[in-house]
Amino acid sequence: MSEKARTPRSPQASPAPGVVGETDIGCCRERIALLSGDMDNDSSARIAADLREWIREAPPAARLPATRRLVAEYAASPVTVQKALRRLVAEGLVESRPGVGTFVRAVRPARGPDFGWQTGALRAPRAELARIAGPLQTAPPDVLALHAGYPGPELLPERLVRTALARAARSAAATARPPAAGLPELRAWFATELAEATPSGLGTASSRDVIVAPGSQSALASIFRALVAPGGPLLIESPTYWGAIQAARQAGVEPVPVPSDAHGPDPVEVDRSLRETGARAFYAQPSFANPTGAQWSVERAEHVLDVVRARGAFLVEDDWAHDFGIDSEARPLAARDDAGHVVYLRSLTKSVSPALRVAAVIARGPARDRILGDRAAESMYVSGLLQQAALEVVSDPGWRSHRRRLRAQLRERRDLLVAAIADQAPSLALDLVPPGGLHLWTRLPDGTDVDRLARACAAEGVWVAAGDEWFPAEPAAAYLRLAFIGPEPGRYPEAARVIERAVRAQAVSPA
């Protein structure tokens, strides 16, 4: 590449005042092409990145080329070019003047409104205000994302979802108000799914026991409010799902950490914590826990359930990874409960589509009525359209075929990331290769500043999730949660090398 191509031309050197030069655009496009190695992958993102690079050096009010010129320059469709321009408008970098063109936006310092009066009106917040968690942060384009908790599109039943949404839109669900507890057919499906895992001789859940909720996060808040008095204690595994920690705090209950390792919590420790705190609820993930990937053995599950029964308490079972078994199947404790001690939660959001936020709570007795009352007060009901679409997906014969394919895909990706860490990042300790789930839980050397490490990795184009967010109290050690569900699994070795460099750099320069 020529020196001109490597060094962006200054705005003063533009062919005409306020007009983007063809050489500038061509050079930028060449650089983006070389960096990406794939000109057909998300053309609008590349066009936007190209123009964004030029805008950094352009004077205010410089005019961008007409759409037809960009179409010819990039061999892209007008729709693709307009999508790129809309991105830049949304970012505040350019402004569109109908009938005239698109121009670099002039930066005008403006004094924002004064909201200081709200501090006095709002007073102190009722609970610790949660920030957007790391796994929910949106990574920039071209970043290797190991931080997220949602499977990429290639791991989802996209065809089933699109077909299901179309069918639901043509059904009565498009205009009818569903029952507060959920569509009867969907509730029956959730009950049947749990019944299939029920050992002979134990009671099974009925569709009446099922409450449909708009995702597991909303369901957790309702469960905690229904089962725990305001300010009361809630036992919670440590480490555990960061969303459960946030839901507990927003519900106004006090999380009490119970240590949990690759095999789950110690039943003796659960019993001691229930006795000493007076807690009457314990939140846990017995199958493929987030973040550790642990799955309780049948014996440990029985022991913990015996402790909960003896203490007259509830076990809130979050079966979030029911559809993500790799070397093992999920084993719901709710299938072994015959007296309403287990409140069971299962979500379809991660396994079907993030656009279909549908989950189910299965509970019995007064606990069920209280949870339903809380859900109805908060959101009245879940969109019947989304419920019908979810039902269409899981009732389709292709759903089971998808789950079989997904198991093989997850196994391949998990093993690729495990091998990459072993070969390229020896500083990371992996105590457990998870039999299911979506993540690896890796321990860093003692004394590692995890936030600093995450920032260093992000600077090199690799996003990781700092493990501190999965602890309800102080972190037990320095951890990273690495997801094997994002795009480009072939780049896992590259990501592992970036992490290893960041670890070693911090060891050399700890401060």
Q: Are residues 15 and 80 in the same domain?
A: yes
pLDDT of residue 146: 81
Q: Are residues 187 and 294 in the same domain?
A: yes
pLDDT of residue 129: 56
Q: How far is CA 237 from the centre of its chain?
A: 19
What is the pTM (predicted TM-score) of this model? 0.76
Q: Can you state the angle between helices 397-424 and 492-508, rounded to 10 degrees?
A: 40
What band does 131 get if pLDDT is binned at 50, 70 and 90?
Answer: low
Q: Are residues 226 and 325 in the same domain?
A: yes
Cβ contact 289:300 at 8 Å: no
Range with lowest mean pLDDT among 19-33, 104-118, 137-151: 19-33
Q: Are residues 420 and 498 in the same domain?
A: yes
How large is the C-alpha radius of gyration of the chain?
A: 26
HEC letters along 3-18? HHHHCCCCHHHCCECC
Longest dimension (CA), the chain: 84
The residue whose two tokens read 């590692």 is 448
Quick check: 35 pLDDT over 80? no
Q: What would the two tokens of residue 116 be?
A: 């200081």
Domain CATH code at residue 480: 3.90.1150.10
User: β-pairing, 359-362 with 342-347?
Assistant: antiparallel
Question: Is the preceding omega at residue 291 within 30 degrees of 0, hence cis?
Answer: yes
Q: Are residues 197 and 145 in the same domain?
A: no
Residue ending a domain, choose from 365, 396, 427: 396
Indicate whether 31 belongs to any domain: yes
Q: Can you state the angle between helices 384-395 and 397-424, rounded to 10 degrees?
A: 80
Question: Is the preceding omega at residue 434 within 30 degrees of 0, hence cis?
Answer: no
More confident residue, 129 or 398: 398
Average pLDDT over residues 353-370: 93
Indicate whether 300 belongs to any domain: yes
For residue range 456-485, what is the model confidence (pLDDT) as tens digits? 998 888 999 999 999 988 888 999 999 999
Q: Are residues 214 and 92 in the same domain?
A: no
Query: Percent of the chain at pLDDT above 90?
Result: 55
Q: In terms of residue numbers, what domain contains 44?
A: 3-104
Cβ contact 378:371 at 8 Å: no
Q: How far apart are CA 359 and CA 220, in angstroms?
A: 10
Quick check: 13 pLDDT over 50? no
Q: Are residues 162 and 292 in the same domain?
A: yes
pLDDT of residue 139: 67
What band does 370 get if pLDDT is binned at 50, 70 and 90?
Answer: very high
Output the CA–CA distances (angstroms, integers) from residue 85 to 10, 62, 69, in the order listed.
Answer: 22, 14, 13
pLDDT of residue 125: 67
Range with lowest mean pLDDT among 144-148, 178-182, 304-308, 312-316: 144-148
- For the beta sheet containing 479-483, the strands, ordered from the edge strand earlier in sequence to the opposite edge, are 429-430, 439-443, 479-483, 465-466
DSSP label at 56? T
What band does 110 get if pLDDT is binned at 50, 70 and 90?
Answer: low
Average pLDDT over residues 131-158: 78
Residue ending a domain, choose from 339, 374, 396: 396
Domain total in the chain: 3
Indicate whether 422 belongs to any domain: yes
Average pLDDT over residues 86-98: 84
Average pLDDT over residues 445-451: 91
Mean pLDDT comparison of 171-175, 436-440, 507-511, highest-scoring range? 436-440
Indicate whether 503 belongs to any domain: yes
Q: Are residues 384 and 469 in the same domain?
A: no
Q: Which amino acid is at 435?
A: P
Q: Are residues 149 and 80 in the same domain?
A: no
Indicate whether 117 belongs to any domain: no
Q: How far is CA 416 from the centre of its chain?
A: 21
Average pLDDT over residues 391-404: 94
pLDDT of residue 17: 40
Quick check: 6 pLDDT over 50? no
Q: What would the two tokens of residue 264 be?
A: 């789950």
Quick check: 2 pLDDT over 50? no
Can you state the percent helix, strand and coil of the chain, rounding each to 5?
A: 45, 15, 40
Q: Are residues 413 and 457 in the same domain?
A: yes
Cβ contact 480:442 at 8 Å: yes
Q: Are residues 245 and 333 in the same domain?
A: yes
Domain CATH code at residue 16: 1.10.10.10
Domain CATH code at residue 271: 3.40.640.10
Residue ending a domain, choose from 104, 125, 143: 104
Q: Are residues 370 and 227 in the same domain?
A: yes
Output the CA–CA distances (angstroms, integers) from residue 229 to 254, 339, 342, 362, in the order listed.
Answer: 10, 21, 18, 20
Q: Which residues pair with 430 in a beta bridge?
A: 442
Residue among 258, 184, 216 nearest 343 (CA): 216
Q: How far is CA 417 from the centre of its chain?
A: 19
Indicate whether 276 belongs to any domain: yes
Indicate whether 294 belongs to any domain: yes
439 three-state secondary structure = strand
Quick check: 109 pLDDT over 70? no
Residue among 460, 495, 461, 493 nearest 480 (CA): 495
Q: How many helices (H) and strands (E) does the chain have?
A: 17, 16
Indicate whether 110 belongs to any domain: no
Cβ-proximal residues to 421 (8 Å cutoff; 6+ apart), any chain? 428, 430, 440, 442, 482, 496
